[in-house]
Amino acid sequence: MGMFWKFTGLFIVSIAIYIAYISRDTFDPESIRGKRVVVTGASTGIGEKVAYQYAKLGANILITARRENLLKQVVKKCLDLGAQSAHYISLDMQVINETGKLITEAEKTLGGLDYLVLNHALYSLELWDGDIEGLQALMNINFVSYVNLATKALPMLSESNGSIAVVSAGTSLFSLPGVIAHSASKQALNGFFEGFRLELNYKELNVSVTLLFLGGVATDHAIDLVQDRDMLAQFGDPDEAAAFIMKATSSKQTWAYYPWAAVRIPEIIHTISRDLCDIMMTNSFFPMLRMLKI
Ligand SMILES: *[C@@H]1O[C@H](CO)[C@@H](O)[C@H](O)[C@H]1NC(C)=O
Ligand SMILES: *[C@@H]1O[C@H](CO)[C@@H](O)[C@H](O)[C@H]1NC(C)=O
Ligand SMILES: *[C@@H]1O[C@H](CO)[C@@H](O)[C@H](O)[C@H]1NC(C)=O
């Protein structure tokens, strides 16, 4: 056997061992029992499912979103599933000076905090139309409120050796036409929280930050927006995405991708060659946008 093949074989085996190592399941469901968890954007979609994941394992839960009637239903279901306690506070994440109420409420109802799951986001599928006020509102919701909540929660989280989950998106790693404002707000999240995590390390605060890069997930909202069956077939499952978020956060992973191939492979291509990425976007994504009449 030639030297080349020996090295190639060794290389492939090393990669396989590395992938097996990074994807091993070290999650202990018992570790969630009695933990104090805040989930934002929890009235529908992935946030709602995340609340149920923690509920099933016996956590104390505080959820938020805007719509009180939906929050009430989610709280009830959390209790039915086995949450030790479940509360809600209705908030609009666009009004930054009000968002801190969530953390005050956590202190009051939970008496501390172990997991802060930042998940809420505004997104729609449309070409940029010049709406600057809309963009500022979107940045408040998708970015500034995240920073405010993480900052306000930090004292409680450092007391508990807690964790922050930041739900970002595949479209923060490579921009997609049709969602560029959303994409820009998620890039801001990555930029802030990657460095924030390092600053916490620098200050020797034992609070983990997990950035979760989510690709398409078949939530009701996504199904409404996309409507195309073939495209939706490639989307991830909301329950699976929620379990993934909980596990990656609890094992204090720094980065996590879901669905892995749909997010990680385009990211790698984008890193290797932005030009190649452009060509792929033009050839595969433009026809999709036309089909969706955007
Ligand atoms: C928050 O800001 C708005 C205006 O931007 C103001 O009307 C409101 O009173 C402020 N609330 C608090 C709690 O400061
Ligand atoms: C946080 O971690 C430190 C170091 O391991 C430990 O001494 C402390 O008891 C932990 N605090 C909590 C609340 O778990
Ligand atoms: C950080 O917190 C974890 C518990 O979540 C604990 O096991 C670990 O020892 C702590 N590390 C330091 C350096 O305090």
Q: What is the 3-state secondary structure (H, E, C) of 69-93?
A: HHHHHHHHHHHHHCCCEEEEEECCC
In this prediction, residue 14 carries a pLDDT of 84
pLDDT digit string (tens) for 184-212? 999 999 999 999 999 999 999 999 999 99
Q: Enter the tokens of residue 50.
A: 């995340």
pLDDT digit string (tens) for 38-48? 999 999 999 99
pLDDT above 90 for 66:
yes
CATH number for region 28-261? 3.40.50.720
Sequence-distant (6+) residues with CB within 8 A of 18 are: none
In this prediction, residue 288 carries a pLDDT of 82
CA-to-CA distance for 75 and 270, rounded, in angstroms?
A: 41
pLDDT digit string (tens) for 202-242? 999 999 999 999 998 888 888 888 777 777 888 889 999 99
pLDDT digit string (tens) for 128-149? 999 999 999 999 999 999 999 9
Least confident of 27-31, 87-91, 209-213, 288-292: 288-292
Cα angle, residue 234 at apex, residues 232 and 235 outer, rounded to 5°? 65
Closest ligand 2 atom number to CA of residue 160: 13
pLDDT above 80 for 180:
yes
CA-to-CA distance for 39 and 48, rounded, in angstroms?
A: 8
Cα(145) to ligand 1 centroid in Å equals 14
pLDDT above 70 for 122:
yes
pTM above 0.85, yes or no: yes
pLDDT above 80 for 24:
no
Q: Which of 31, 206, 207, 208 to mutate to test ligand 3, by most ligand atoms within 8 A of the CB atom?
A: 206
Q: Return the ligand number nearest the Cα of 97.
A: 1
CB-defined site of ligand 1, < 6 Å: 97-98
Mean of all residue pLDDT scores within the chain = 92
Taking CA atoms only, the protein residue closest to ligand 3 atom 7 is 161
